[in-house]
Each structure stands twice: as C-alpha cells, then as structure tokens.
Chain A
Amino acid sequence: MQLIEFTDKGLFCRAGNFYIDPWKPVDYAIITHAHSDHAKWGSKNYLCHTLTKPLLQARLGDNNYETLEWNESKTINSVKVSLHPAGHIIGSSQIRVEYNNEVWVASGDYKVVNDGLSGAFEPVKCNAFITESTFGLPIYCWKDQEIIFENMRNWILANKAMNKASIIIAYSLGKAQRVLKALEDFDEPIYMHGATYNMHQALLNANVYLPNINAERVTPETPKEKLKECVVIAPPGAEGSSWLKKFNPYAIGVCSGWMQVRGNVRRKNVDGAFALSDHADWNGLLQAIKETQAEKVYVTHGYQSVFSRYLNEQGIWSAEVKTEYGTEDEEVVAETAEDKKEFIDGE
C-alpha cells in the first residue's frame, strides 16, 4: 500500500485518514496553498499554514481551520505531518508525511527561486516526491525577476511618455503581490481593481509582509483625471472588459510564464508581455527533484507525461498521475469561472 494513494477525491493518506488538496469534500483536508484548484470548498476540517488560513477564510468563508508553522509537525493517527515552504505564493507549503520510516512529500505548486514574498523553497529529503510540472519543458527557463521587473518599469515609463495608463494583468493572489514588489521603489501612483484590492486588504489584515505601497482602489467614483497615465493592477477578468474604458488611452500587459512563447503573446493580443511565473521552470523542477533525493517521483498537473518520461530516462523512477490540479490553475491561459466571479465581485 502506498503511503499516499491517488484517489478520485485527491491525494489520500490511508494510514492518517486525511487528504491533501482534495477536489471533493472530505473529512480532513491538508491544503498546500490557497489557489482555487488546490483549496476546494466543503471539507469538514482544514489544516494549512498560518499565512494560508486568512486566504482560505477570504475565499472559502468560515470553516474549521487548524494551522501549522513551517517545520512544525503534528501527528494525525500516528502519521507525522509537517509543512515546508514551497515558494509558490504566500503561505504555500509542501506537505511532508512520515509513517513507519517512510517519507512522502506532496509539493503542491512550487518555485525554487526566492521571490522575497512567498518564503524560500526548502528541499525536503524523502522517499517519494509528488511534483507539479506546469512548465515541465526545457523551453521554459525564467529570467532573473529583477530583469523582468526592470522591463516592466521601463514599459510603464514608455507608456507614460505616450500619455498612456499601464494596465498590468495579474492574478489577485500571488502574481499581484509580485507586481507590487516590482513597483516597490517606483515613484508612481498604483491603482487596483476591486478584486485585487480586496485580496490586498485581506493580506494586510492578516499581517502578511507586503511591499510598502499605498495602493488605491478604482471605484466608479474615481475621477477619470486621476487615472491618467496611472499604473493599474487588475485580474485576468479585466482583459477585454468594458471596465478598461475609463483608463483610455492605455496599454495592457500580462504577467505569466506562458508569455515565454511568442504564439501566446500574439494570441493574448496585448502590448506588454512579462514571463513572470510562480512555478518552477525546467531547471527548477529538476533541481528540486534532485535535492529531495527521492527514489520515486510522481508527476502531476502540467507536462506530466513528457516530464515523467524524461526522469525515467535519467534513471529516476517516475510515474505520471492524473489530478484535477491545474484545471483552474492561475497560469492556465483560459479564464475560469472563479476569475469571472472574482472580477465581478470586485467591480
């Protein structure tokens, strides 16, 4: 019997009788991070990182939440569980599960580069590692975030020079905070779409460390004069919506790892494209896997078949696993129902 089984409800630890990131309601759910494809509504008990709890409260409402700090452990039915930074977004954690001297780690989503907000990814030694593979092709190789940030700032300045506002499309949880990081010492007024702003406030209320920026919410009452040449952070739902009209003339930029490929940039029909991702790139995935020293690697959402085949050829035992993660992933190009709701709620 595997310590973690892949069931139709999600990753299941039979010995501990709990699930990790289940996509159906269960009795006990351990949540890696607060993105909607990993944190689903309806479970009776939730265990997550301290910083994830307020985000889950904001998205799932009041529930029975328990929290752990990173590296703090808890025993559930004689299975030892601990959380370790995954570097993906604020509070994102890898779940380490130990039973009878066997260790499994479920990574959720992760990136190995420290973005200064989400905590530095910590490799955890284990026997079996469950990895994502969103960008599991060698064409994905991220630039240093400082270079991307610099490009973003130059883009904003170029827009200003043409009297245009700069609309930056970024998911409210994760990407939006990184954009703030890019604009930290940038002396320009920052505005936010309501959905972005609500998440921003939720983070501030939870005392999460954020770049020190006074962002203002765009409301129907905000005078058009004030919005001239401004910088706006908005969720993907804003793309192509009439909400953008009030910023005319404006340029629109998208932050996503998919922007690495020209075809995606063209299809997006945008003026700026920034390959800024919260997922590990090809080398990041390989590095993370190597550092776990895992004997078995299970590959989930993304390019699982390609990545798994490659690992096997490199002498690392690997199998692909079908999950429902990534179906509403923040970086999946198609817009999700969740985005739409969030967008409308924030308007």
Chain B
Amino acid sequence: MANDKHIFVDASTQENAKDGMALFSELVTFLGASTKTLEKQDALINYFSLADDKDKVWVIALFSGRRPRRLVNSSLLPQWCIEIRNIPGWLFSECYGSVGDMAETIALLLPEASEETKESSLSFYIEKLVSLDKQDESIKKEFITGCWHTMNKDERFVFNKLLTGNFRIGISQKQMVNALAKTVKLEPSVIAHRISGNWDPMTTLFNELLSEHATSIDFSKPYPFYLAYALEENPGTVGDANEWQAEWKWDGIRGEIIKRNNELFVWSRGEELVTDKYPEYAMLQQKLPEGIALDGEIISLTNANATTNEFTILPFALLQTRIGRKNVTSKQLKESPVGFIAYDLLEFEGEDFRNRTLEERRNVLEKIVVGVNEPALRLSPIINFNNWDELAAIRATSRDINAEGIMLKRKSSIYQVGRKVGDWWKWKIDPLTIDAVMIYAQKGSGRRSTLYTDYTFAVKDNDKLVPFTKAYSGLTDKEFAQVDNFVKRNSLEKFGPVRTVKPELVFEIAFEGIAASNRHKSGVALRFPRIKRWRKDKPADEINTLDDLKKMLAAYGK
C-alpha cells in the first residue's frame, strides 16, 4: 500500500536518499507528531513495506519493548554533548528543562552535521552499539560522537533514543501489530502471538517471525471484551433489582485466559499477550479443560482459599510492579502475588458461549472454577441484595475490600462486543476529594514540554503548607495556559526545573485511595490523584488541613 503522507517538521531534509536510519527517523518523527491513528498506521505500513528485513525486525523489537541493554551511563551523553557544544552544565540543564526529553535536547544542541554518512541502516547502528558493550568508555565515546557528526537532527534524536532507552513515541504495540497484519496479510492476533515471548532480534529473521505460511489455525485468538458504561444516575433507572446480578468492580487489569490445543494464552486488554508475565497461571494449562475462554480480572491477591472462595485483594500498587515486567523474580512473586478473578465464560468445550445468557454462562463457570480447585483462580462473588438501597449501602463499603465499586450485569444478557449501553454498568464509588493549594510547578513532558503543567499541591498544617501530592491531569488546555501564565508571573524561587509559586490557586484534588507512606513528608500517598476542578471561588486560607488528610487515612487507608 503506497503512502505519501508526511508531517513536515521542517528539519527533515526531504531530498536525501532514504537509507535505513533516515527512513526510521522519518517514521519516528511522523509518529511523534501525528495525532491521527489512521495516519500513524499508514506511516507504519509504509515503513514496513520499504525498510529492509533486518531493520524491520529491530523496529518490531524496539516497539514491543525489546530494547538492547543500555550501552552507556545516562550521564555520559549530556557530558559529551556539553563538551562538543562548549556550554556550561547548568545551561544544558536549562535546555533539558525546557525541552523535556534528553535525547531531543542533545539532538538540538549539537552543531549541524559536518560529515557525510558512511553507514546507514538501523540494524548497523544497534548491532554496532551492542558489540561495543564490553569496550572502554573512550571507544564508545568515539563511536557515538562520531555518529553525531554524521547525522541530521532527526536521526540524532532517534539514535539518542536508542542510547537512552524508553522508546515511547506515540504508538501502542497494538497499533504496530495492526500495521504488520496489513503488511504481511496475517491476522493481528496471530502477529501479537508471534512477536510475544522470548526471541532475540539479533538472531531472528523477519521471515521466521512473520512468514505467511506458518500455522494457519490461530489457537490463541481472544474474544473482544464486553465493556461497561459508567452508571452516573441512581440504579433505579436501569430497572427492577431482581433482573440484575451484582459483583464487585475489581481494581486490577482486565484479562482473558484461553486454553486451546493444550496451550495456555493469557491476554490483557489492548490485545497484549501476557502469558509469560504471570507464572501463577501456568498450572492452568494442566488444570483447565480443553477449549475454554475465561473473562476476568488479573489482580494482586493473597489468602486465597479454593474451598471457601475467600481471598484478600492487595493494593493496585503491588500489581503495578508486575505489569511492566517481562521477567519476574521470585521476590516479586512472593511480594506481589497475582491471581485471576473469573467472572465470565466465553467459550466452553470449543464452543462460542457468548450468545447464552449470563445466568447460563455463570452456572458453567462456577463448575469449572470449582473443578480446577486452585487458589489462584477465583470466582468473582455474586453480591446478594434485595433492593437498590441495600446495594447502595454495600457499595459504600467498596473501599474496605479494595474494590472500585459495583458491576451490574443483566442476568438475561448475552456477552456483547466492545462498549455497549444497556446490559452492563459500572457503578463506581465517588472519588475522595480534598481542596489544596498549588505550591510548585514544573514543565510537562511531551506535548506539554513548554508549559507548566505538573503541579505539586499542599494542605495546611497550622501556618505551614505541607506538600502531599502531584497531579498532572484534569484541566483543559485553556486552563493549563492560564495556570502556566500565573506560574510565570508568580514564581518565588527556582530549583532547577521546579518553580515555587505564590500559594494562591486552589484546586479540588480527586483520588481513588489513600495509604500511609513514610517516603512522603505528609505521611500519605494517594492513588490516581488528579485535578477535579479549579476552585476559583475558594481563597487559599480555606483549603483542607493535614488533619483532614490524616482522618481520611484513618478511615480508608490500610
């Protein structure tokens, strides 16, 4: 598929012959600037149709989190850049504070390329970097600074990204999988499956990875999730209480466990295959019957009992330590154990079960879970209630068991695809809120890199202000511009990129949970804090106090 779309960020010199690194840097520049999903996909498809196979393998590896080990200490790159540009270190820091990205700061600061490029492909640069791993710092320096001299701004940026890591450039693994699917004419789920697991981009050929002639039957394929809408009103509006099944809304990540062809596959939302991340589920390959798909929650839990179906949900923070990990240590397995709370059955004995009623599906599901008889596979308990008022009272206790509220599912409903109104509702508890004053501001990163958008908030403690949380989201672009303007005009002090501002702007901060923390001055840590609204009506001396926070901690923290 041809594609001639370009975002013109005017540093890219179009007339250059497109060698591997140039092609890749153009792709990254485009993906970084575009906000349109379809355009991004076209750009990826275009890249995959033009790039050479070796480079493609590396791009797949990079975009699926398989970056080669960091070659140089991250403080060395700025140091070399400072030497080349001959500027003081503090000035480099100011630039970094303004740009918000180390790789880009260096790319912008280095002088224009002085030599012609000799070597060109992406794989050359990466493999060369890997080969230098054991070499002296001076040899690494010579190679890296030598590369800088031959690259334009965009290429340097990409090259620096390879060196500094975190290749977050505006596409998800899912988008890449979809683009690959279009390029090699395979189902996205097949590709997601193929590029998962342990493979080494140094030794893997593109054809091995993605040949069209590999196994034609895809046993791994998940069903799309049915998603609930938020219930904003009184549940009485959805109908008669006895038509509904209530369960807790678990605070984990959505998952689907499949066993087909005697193989186990675990998918998380976003069609990411995560089987290897959760070794706790490995035994299900033996214990689950063949031809089955379970919908449920991947969640941190402990004290699970297979006989009574009792278990204790651990804070989301523990699950978080597992989500990003490909290789789990035994320490993590012990400290953040993960289980699966099953709440639906999508396939049974190889048959698609989604058109059966929830009651039917649930019935079979219960038998399966009991049959497996493993603490790590739990059944989402059904909450008994007689009327909506009773359920509302139960919902109010959600925080006690680390749940986010209640799920309502119509007993007669089939399992639909995607977010649909009518049969499934999530009835979340209201967030906790507190009024606080902004005391520090820092520039954001990425698309907010020149605006002060990251704020630290404080509560009152007698005549002192005690910082207790940061929050990054919740304001409109216009409000951010207004606050940014306030920050620039009301700075009291500057510590590197952070400005102390006049404590004047009051915001209502919403958060999902509160826990004791000795790492924070305030003694508390909040879960998912965000700005609920700007309280322009409230003067700073009427904000909440540290005592108020401590009372919340006593009531909801564990």
Contacts and interface: CB of A to CB of B under 8 A. Distances in A.
B5 interface: yes
A273 B449 contact: no
Interface string B506-550: 000000000000000000000000000000000000000000000
A143 B105 CA distance: 17
Contacts of A271: 7-8
Interface string A294-307: 00000000010110
B446 A263 contact: yes
Interface range on chain B: under 10, 10 to 19, 20 to 34, or 35 or more?
35 or more
Main SS class of interface, A? helix
Contacts of A148: 10
Contact of A147 (B10, B445, B449): B10
B222 interface: no
A204 interface: no
B33 interface: yes
Contact of A273 (B5, B33, B87, B494): B33
Contacts of A276: 10
B484 to A, nearest CB: 7
A260 interface: yes
Contact of B449 (A154, A259, A261): A261
A266 B7 contact: no
Tell me which of A138, A272, A275 has the highest count of chain B C-beta atoms within 10 A of its own C-beta. Answer: A138
Nearest to B106: A139
A151 B448 contact: no
A309 B154 CA distance: 30
B450 A265 contact: no
B101 interface: yes
Interface range on chain A: under 10, 10 to 19, 20 to 34, or 35 or more?
35 or more
Interface stretch (B91-99, B180-188, B292-300, B333-341): B91-99
B450 A137 contact: no
A261 B447 contact: no
Nearest to A154: B14
A261 B108 contact: yes
Interface in A253-276: 253, 258-267, 269, 271-276
A267 B85 CA distance: 28
A96 to B, nearest CB: 30
B142 interface: no
Contacts of A141: 108
B94 A259 contact: no
A158 interface: yes
Contacts of A305: 494
A28 interface: no
A272 B12 CA distance: 12
Contacts of A137: 91, 94-95, 98
B474 interface: no
A65 interface: no
Contacts of B485: 334
B448 A267 contact: yes
B98 A262 contact: no
A253 B8 contact: yes
Interface in A7-55: none
B493 to A, nearest CB: 12
Contacts of B90: 309
B95 A273 contact: no
Contacts of B104: 261-262
B109 A139 contact: yes
Contacts of A306: 91, 94
Given A143-B10, A154-B8, A262-B33, A267 B447 contact: yes
Tell me which of B9, B446, B484 has the highest count of chain A C-beta atoms within 10 A of its own C-beta. Answer: B9
Given A262-B157, A274-B8, 19 more contacts: A137-B91, A138-B109, A139-B105, A154-B8, A158-B5, A259-B9, A262-B9, A266-B35, A267-B448, A269-B35, A273-B7, A273-B8, A273-B9, A275-B10, A275-B11, A276-B10, A309-B90, A333-B451, A334-B484
Interface of B: 4-14, 32-33, 35, 85, 87-88, 90-91, 94-95, 98-101, 104-105, 108-109, 157, 170, 444-451, 481, 484-485, 494
11 contacts: A139-B99, A141-B108, A155-B8, A161-B4, A162-B5, A260-B108, A261-B449, A261-B450, A263-B446, A265-B9, A275-B11
* CB-CB nearest 10 A-B residue pairs: A263-B449, A266-B447, A267-B447, A139-B108, A151-B10, A155-B8, A334-B481, A272-B8, A274-B10, A139-B95
